[in-house]
Copies of this chain bind each other. A is one copy, B any other.
Amino acid sequence: MNKAQLIESIQKALGAETTKKHAGEALEAVLDGITKGVKKDGNVQLIGFGTFKVSSRAARKGRNPKTGEAMKIKASKSVRFVASSNIKKGLK
C-alpha cells in the first residue's frame, strides 16, 4: 500500500463528503503530529496501534561493504515502533 491508496482508504472511512484533498490533509496532520511528538517527547503511544520510540545507537565499528575497509559508524538515533497486540492480530 502506498500513500495514495491509504488516502482512498481514509476518505472512505471519513465518509462521502470528505474529499481526497481533505483525506490527504488529515494523513499529513497525523504523520506530522507523530513526527513532532516523537521528536519532542521521545515517544508517541497509540493504544491499540503501537508506540513510536526514539532509539539510540552508540558509535561502533563497521565496514565499507564494497572495499571491506573498516570504518567507524557514528552514534545515531532512529525511530522504532513497538507493535501493539491488537495490530498483530490477523496478520498472515
Take A2-B45, A13-B32, A47-B3 as given contacts and tell me if A83 and B80 are in contact as well, using a CB distance cutoff of 8 Å.
Answer: yes
The answer on a CB contact under 8 Å between A90 and B39 is yes
Majority SS of interface residues in chain A?
helix
Q: Which residues A66-92 have CB closer than 8 A to chain B?
A: 76-81, 83, 87-88, 90-92
Size of the chain A interface, CB-CB below 8 angstroms: 49
Q: Mark A32-46, 1 if CB is under 8 A from B, else 0.
A: 111111111101111
Question: Which A positions have Cβ atoms within 8 angstroms of B?
Answer: 1-3, 5-6, 9-10, 13-14, 23, 25-41, 43-50, 52, 54, 76-81, 83, 87-88, 90-92
